Amino acid sequence: MTSSAREGVVPLESAHQIGGRRAGGRVTVTAGERKQAREVSLRRVAALFTSYRWPLTVVVAIIVASSIVSMASPFLLRAVIDTALPQANLSLLVWLVLGMIAVAAVTSALGVVQTWISTKVGQQVMHRLRSDVFTHLQRQSLGFFTRTRTGEVQSRITNDIGGMQSVVTSTASSVAANLTTVVATVVAMAALSWRLSLISLVLMPPAVKLTRKVAGLRRQITAHRQRELADLNVTIEEGLSISGIQLSKTMGTGPALIKRFVESSERLIDLELRSELAGRWRMAWMSIMFAVIPAVIYLSAGLPMTAGRMTIGTLVAFTALQNGLFRPLMGLLDVGVSFTSSLALFARIFEYLDLPVEVADPAEPVEIDRALVTGRVQFEDVTFAYPGSDVAAVAGISLDVPAGSTLALVGETGSGKSTIASLVARLYDPGSGRVLIDGIDLRSMRLADLAEIVGVVSQEAYLLHTTVRENLRYAKPEATDEEIEQAARAAQVHELISNLPEGYDTMVGSRGHRFSGGEKQRIAIARTLLRDPKVLVLDEATSALDTETERAVQQAFETLSRGRTTITIAHRLSTVRNAEQIVVIDAGRVIESGTHTSLVENNGRYAALAA
């Protein structure tokens, strides 16, 4: 496996890469994707249904029973034509007609039960797939989401899994029903006339061969279509989000976005048409041939060599069976086509499920008593490089932040400050060295325990599209309204919220665009206060704020930092003057450390930044 495949980036292309793989306006399939689709294990697909073997067994039993019962109809029909009607036997005719009605009623009732069970099983499998993919993606590191387009992720969960719905919910029952019907019909036809059966079944080999060709064609087109749907999702995500709309209006790119969307939608039209029409002409010829067979049967029945050897009832019953054979036989072949084409969807879903978890819970985690956590943070010769990069973002970092103290990280943009903050929150794991809290390696802690210990307030405060109250409660679902208001007061945002039209029940809007940057930041601080973390990371949380707003937020930070170990990253040195320890980072290395006063007196890099 290549390094890019290990990182989960194949075939998660950027928009310009996808555009570069179009020839003549049509999306092309890479050799890697064709190989991946071929390698989807049928055993793995079947394993999705292993938990439902008993319901599926009942479905198969119902299908077999229904098929056997339905085969009585042509024999009843033969008896009506050959016996009851010629002999004017009314009693027999009534019983035969009642038998036909009973057969129809029983098969219909069994069909309803079979559909209910098979659909329920299929929907449960769909639910499991959706849940497994979402859960697995939640476990992915931050690096995965920086490499992957949001629209691509959404497309896998919605379009790809949704596209498999008909296959998952009906394939097993359809195969069983059609196969059983075909077998039962062939047996009944042979019982009526083995000579006519040979004529009827002569088209079976070419039909199977033709279906295999159609299935391969459908599979390729399905892979094309799902990639195009993913691209369309990305366009929607980028063009119709609040930030996307603001960008397009201020940059005047609305017409270009519309053109991109329309072109993608037009390509989908072409792909959908090709998918629906794939092999239709070939299958049309098959339909014609199946229609010709009854005529051939009638002709053979009237030939001198066969004349008088079969009754009218046998001929009519056999023709009815032969006509009935066409539907399940074609249904069986169509299921094969649909399932084969759906393997492209399974390949895309399994690709996500097979992504390695870069930052995972340890096999044997250290038990943490949060009440005993003091919050001492240590870096021991830590080196880290982002996936795909040969240059270390931080190299040989060693730091010791005593419990309850404040550390400020300063340096130019790109020096590695935010990377250090990410390592404290274990958004990434170091390539070498260790990050410890109270002497425990973060990799030995459960991620849930670490999330309770470390709180992060970043430059971009992300708010959910729900009420202010629910945004705050997101950090602590069991928090009472009183606790929420106390946290808001501590973050100096309670008065602002109270003056909103609906107070704490006011909708914040998409990404919190209802509020200013400082207001969102203070709501984020209140949310972090609810969690009451022992270690607090403030990652350039005031760099985008004006002076007055920064002062209000800084006061909230002072409240938030009391009794906690605080690591602050800031461009404005005025916000870190009072830190007990200031560390200057350059090119991923520590070049100076000390207090504000001592660093200014050293007249080094910090003094130059402070000038």
The pLDDT tens digits of the residues spanning 470-482 come to 888 888 888 888 9
**Residues 390, 302: one domain?**
no
What percent of the residues of the chain are helix, what percent strand, and what percent coil, each to the nearest 5?
Answer: 65, 10, 25
For the chain, report the end-to-end CA distance as a whole number of angstroms: 52
**Residues 339, 470: one domain?**
no
Q: Which residue has the tokens 């949704």?
A: 162
Q: How confident is the model at residue 232 (pLDDT cuts 50, 70, 90)?
A: confident
Residue 120 confidence (pLDDT) above 80: yes
Query: What range does the domain containing 270 cover?
Result: 3-34+42-353
Q: What is the pLDDT of residue 145?
A: 79
Q: Do 446 and 369 touch, CB atoms closer than 8 A? A: no
Boundary-marking domain end, from 297, 320, 353: 353
Q: What is the pLDDT averaged over residues 441-470?
A: 86
Q: Which residues pair with 581 in a beta bridge?
A: 407
- SS3 sequence, 488-521? HHHCCCHHHHHCCCCHHHCECCHHHCCCCHHHHH
For the stretch 276-305, pLDDT in tens is: 666 566 566 666 666 666 767 776 666 655
Q: How confident is the model at residue 223 (pLDDT cuts 50, 70, 90)?
A: low
Mean pLDDT check: name the lowest of 371-380, 447-456, 548-557: 548-557
Q: 207 or 101: which carries more pLDDT confidence?
A: 101
Q: 40 or 236: which carries more pLDDT confidence?
A: 236
Q: What is the pLDDT of residue 7?
A: 34
Q: What is the pLDDT of residue 453?
A: 92
Domain membership of residue 217 (yes or no) is yes
Residue 378 confidence (pLDDT) above 80: yes
Q: 321 or 524: which carries more pLDDT confidence?
A: 524
Residue 369 confidence (pLDDT) above 60: yes
**Residues 319, 376: one domain?**
no
Domain membership of residue 361 (yes or no) is no
What CATH number should be reported for the domain holding residue 303?
1.20.1560.10
**Residues 320, 378: one domain?**
no
Residue 330 confidence (pLDDT) above 70: no
CA dihedral sign, ordered 563, 568, 574, 577: positive
- SS3 sequence, 24-80? CCEECCCHHHHHHHHCCCHHHHHHCCHHHHHHHHHHHHHHHHHHHHHCHHHHHHHHH
Q: What is the pLDDT of residue 441?
A: 94
**Residues 278, 377: one domain?**
no
Task: Tell me the pairing of strands 454-458 and 535-539.
Answer: parallel
Domain membership of residue 531 (yes or no) is yes
Q: Do 84 and 92 touch, CB atoms closer than 8 A? A: yes
The two three-digit tokens of residue 81, written as one number: 């034509």
**CA atoms of 441 and 300, how far apart (whole Å):** 85
For the stretch 73-96, pLDDT in tens is: 778 887 888 888 888 888 888 998
Q: 423 or 49: which carries more pLDDT confidence?
A: 423
Residue 227: φ, ψ to 5°: -65, -35
**Residues 403, 297: one domain?**
no
Mean pLDDT check: name the lowest of 49-53, 287-291, 388-392: 287-291
Q: What is the pLDDT averaged over residues 326-352?
A: 71
Q: Do 184 and 68 touch, CB atoms closer than 8 A? A: yes
**CA atoms of 521 and 540, how far apart (whole Å):** 11
Q: What is the pLDDT averaged over residues 249-270?
A: 71
Kindly report the number of other CB atoms within 10 A of residue 539's CB atom. 22
Q: What is the pLDDT of residue 346?
A: 81
Mean pLDDT taken over the chain: 76
Boundary-marking domain end, from 353, 385, 410: 353
Domains contained in the chain, number: 2
Residue 55 confidence (pLDDT) above 60: yes
**How many separate helices (H) and strands (E) can be counted in the chain?**
26, 12
**CA atoms of 374 and 439, how far apart (whole Å):** 10
Q: How confident is the model at residue 29 (pLDDT cuts 50, 70, 90)?
A: very low
Q: Do 74 and 111 touch, CB atoms closer than 8 A? A: no
The DSSP call for residue 160 is I
Q: What is the pLDDT averaged over residues 246-272?
A: 70
Q: How far is CA 444 from the centre of its chain?
A: 29
**Residues 348, 389: one domain?**
no
The two three-digit tokens of residue 84, written as one number: 């009851």
Task: Tell me the pairing of strands 454-458 and 440-441.
Answer: unpaired
Q: Using omega within 30 degrees of 0 as the cis cutoff, is the peptide bond preceding 11 cis?
A: yes
The four Cα atoms 517, 544, 249, 16 give a dihedral, to 10 degrees, of -120
**Residues 315, 411: one domain?**
no
**Residues 140, 172: one domain?**
yes
Q: What is the pLDDT of residue 159?
A: 72
Q: Which amino acid is at 537?
A: V
Q: What is the pLDDT of residue 12?
A: 35
The percentage of the chain sitting over the pLDDT mark of 70, rounded to a whole number, equals 69
**CA atoms of 523 and 409, how far apart (whole Å):** 24
The two three-digit tokens of residue 480, written as one number: 């009472």
Q: 175 or 443: which carries more pLDDT confidence?
A: 443
Q: What is the pLDDT averaged over residues 54-64?
A: 84
**Residues 141, 254: one domain?**
yes
Q: What is the pLDDT of residue 13?
A: 34
Q: What is the pLDDT averaged over residues 184-206?
A: 69
Q: Which residues pair with 454 in a beta bridge?
A: 535
Domain membership of residue 517 (yes or no) is yes
Q: How confident is the model at residue 605 (pLDDT cuts 50, 70, 90)?
A: confident
**Residues 409, 465: one domain?**
yes
Boundary-marking domain end, from 322, 353, 384: 353
Domain membership of residue 362 (yes or no) is no
Mean pLDDT check: name the lowest of 40-44, 224-228, 250-254, 317-321: 250-254
